[in-house]
Amino acid sequence: MAGQKMLKFVSRGRQSPDKRSAAERSEDFDEIYQAFAAVKAEEQASRCSQCGVPFCQTHCPLHNNIPDWLMLTAEGRLEEAYELSQATNTFPEVCGRVCPQDRLCEGNCVVEFSGHGAITIGAVEKYVTETAWEKGWVQPPKPRGAERSESIGIIGAGPAGLAAAERLRRKGFQVVVYDRHDRAGGLLTYGIPGFKLEKHVVARRIESFEEAGIVFRLNCEIGKDVSFADLRSRHDAVLIATGVYQARDLGGPGSGLPGVEKALDYLIASNRKSFGDAVPEFDEGRLDAEGKHVLVVGGGDTAMDCVRTAIRQGASSVRCLYRRDRENMPGSQREVANAEEEGVIFEWLCAPRAFSGESRVTAMKAVRMRLGEPGPDGRRSPEEAPGSEFLLEADLVVKALGFDPENLPQLWDAPDLETTRWGTVKADFRSKMTNLPGVFAAGDIMRGASLVVWAIRDGREAADAITAYVDQRALAAGMAAE
């Protein structure tokens, strides 16, 4: 039973790990939150009420067994806490850092509902897993039983592809992961900036996957370097986990001027610089915000990452324009607060209309918006306030309006591959199989731009579905041979 260690939420308040001061953290790309000390992690975990119906667990996409690993942490039984936590999550140290906990586990914590402040679930998850790495409890995902001869090809080394790779390798399959980038990790490596997720955290996982025998074929773009048909013939099953990369455009007069840039180009360049790579577009100034007046358009996580990157690059001013208000923005409120502390100015209810400049952008014409009647999705749609035009100085404009899927059937010369009307790859909700036999899909390319934790869940489920498919085929072949 939970015993005296738990239920301390009445006497102990919620405390997050310390955050570095805005002045200090604006100077580098290191994570902004410090680690919990052991005593603090135990103390915070002991606030859990061990309630009968843990809504935190229900609202975690991985259904992590949160109350149990909180109790084990409170009791100092960290190795057991880690074992339990990693049983449902391939990257607990990543989720502890980047999940929007306020919308998932912590937002549904019963202690939060009672007005005492949610348990700091994400921070404890990070602490437990970091301790596991330190103590050497994290082992490469080697096969638990015999090696299997069947080979699985995974397109995309983001969290969906990697989660599937780990689970399939543990089952003994020969796993090959293909990625067009030179480093694995997908958006964990090249999208999300280091101040949210330091890159060594991703790299050490990938190293342990390699040690377990997972093969990475990097700088290899399916549809260009290897055809999709060829890939299918090489493997017993294929998983499409390519994410969504087609940036939505701003449009409007002048939106094609140099200096109006795509969010991911900007973030990838910054992440590459942090790796020490030569990045001509950055070195020549195109994707470097230093000394510039920067306008970022959008209200999601990507926009928040862009504004905070610009601050760290030494921009003269950084403004974020979003057409709805603060309450209706899709990005995390925690990240908005962090950005404000670092000096970002938010222009709520504001939208761009045109861009001007001779050889490159120098100004944006913007308008004020107001919220009208709720649309079919229940959200009040923004409409332009008449006569509200105004000018903003701009040396760099970053478009962070979200992403759509690339046209895979066309790019891969695979017209039979079914997609949805949004362009995502159509896969059976449960089996994750597409309409092509032996071809599965997971992560953003299947569900649309989403979250790391959902990509992990999809990847794990796809791995189980692939195993069932390969087993059934082997069984059918055996029966036919008899």
Q: Which residues of this protein are in contact with ligand SF4, per CB under 6 A?
A: 60, 62, 64, 66, 89, 95-96, 99, 101, 104-105, 121-122, 125, 453
How near is the Cβ of 99 to ligand SF4 at its closest, in Å?
A: 3
* Spatial separation of the C-alpha atoms in residues 131 and 40, rounded to whole Å: 14
- Closest-CA residue to 70 (of 94, 99, 91, 96): 96
The contact mask relative to ligand FAD for 265-304 (x = CB under 6 A, - = no) is --x---------------------------------xx--
The two tokens of residue 59 are: 């609202």
Task: Tell the smallest beta-carbon distance from residue 127 to ligand FAD (Å).
Answer: 19
Least separation in angstroms between CB 241 and ligand FAD: 5
Q: Which of 156, 194, 254, 382 binds ligand FAD (CB under 6 A)?
A: 156
Q: Which DSSP string do the residues of 422-434 spell out, in sequence order?
A: TSPBP--TTT-B-
Q: Find which of ligand FAD, ligand SF4, none residue 101 binds, CB within 5 to 8 Å per kind.
A: ligand SF4
Q: How far apart are CA 340 and CA 304, in angstroms?
A: 10
Q: Select 82 or 91, whichever has its Cβ closest to ligand FAD.
A: 91
Q: Would you say 105 or 263 has its CB closer to ligand SF4?
A: 105
Q: By CB under 6 A, is residue 255 in contact with ligand FAD?
A: no
User: What are the Cα distances from residue 199, in Å, to 206, 272, 275?
Assistant: 11, 11, 8
Which option in ligand FAD, ligand SF4, none does residue 70 bind, with CB closer than 5 to 8 A by kind? Answer: none
Is residue 296 classed as helix, strand or coil in its secondary structure?
A: strand
Say which entry of ligand SF4, ligand FAD, none residue 444 contacts (CB below 5 to 8 A, set by partner kind).
Answer: ligand FAD
Give the DSSP H/E element, type plus range, for residue 74: helix 66-74
Find all residues with CB under 8 Å of 95, minimum gap 6, and list them.
62, 89, 122, 125, 452, 453, 456
* Residue 158 binds to ligand FAD (criterion: CB under 6 A): yes
As measured in angstroms, the least distance from the Cβ of 118 to ligand FAD is 18
Which does residue 187 touch among ligand FAD, ligand SF4, none (CB within 5 to 8 A, set by kind)? ligand FAD
DSSP tag of 260: E
Alpha-carbon span 61 to 67, nearest angstrom: 15
Q: Which of 444, 463, 466, 469 binds ligand FAD (CB under 6 A)?
A: 444
Q: Which of 168, 187, 321, 364 binds ligand FAD (CB under 6 A)?
A: 187
Compare residues 135 and 224 and give the one whose CB is closer to ligand FAD. 224
Q: Reduce the DSSP state of residue 56 to 3 states and report it.
A: helix
Instruction: State which residue, 194 or 223, has the beta carbon closest to ligand FAD.
Output: 223
Give whichever of 112 and 444 is closer to ligand FAD, judged by the CB atom: 444
Helix (H/G/I), strand (E/B), else coil: 78: helix
Contact 317, 294 (CB under 8 A): yes
Cross-strand bridge partners of residue 371 = 382
Nearest to 151 by CA among 123, 172, 120: 172
Pairing of strands 151-155, 174-178: parallel
To ligand SF4, the closest distance from the beta carbon of 96 in angstroms equals 6
Closest separation between CB of residue 331 and ligand FAD, Å? Answer: 9
What whole-number distance in Å separates Cα of residue 168 and Cα of residue 260?
42
221 binds ligand FAD (CB under 6 A): yes
Q: Please name the amino acid found at residue 384.
A: E
Does residue 6 touch ligand FAD according to CB under 6 A? no
Does position 452 interact with ligand FAD (CB under 6 A)? The reply is yes
With respect to ligand SF4, which residue has the nearer C-beta, 122 or 438? 122
Question: What residue 64 binds from ligand FAD, ligand SF4, none (CB within 5 to 8 A, per partner kind)?
Answer: ligand SF4
Crossing angle of the two packed helices 38-45 and 121-135, in degrees rounded to 10: 140
Q: Which two tokens stand for residue 389?
A: 């035009």
Determine the Cα–Cα distance for residues 341 and 335; give it in Å rounded to an integer.
10
Q: Contacting ligand FAD (CB under 6 A), which of 41, 70, 74, 98?
A: 98
Site membership for ligand FAD, residue 236 (CB under 6 A): no
CB neighbour burial string for 230-242, b if at least 16 within 10 angstroms, e if fewer: ebbeebbbbbbbb
Please give the residue ranges that form the binding site for ligand FAD (CB under 6 A). Answer: 98-99, 155-161, 178-181, 186-187, 191-192, 196, 221-223, 241-243, 267, 301-302, 305, 443-444, 450-453, 455
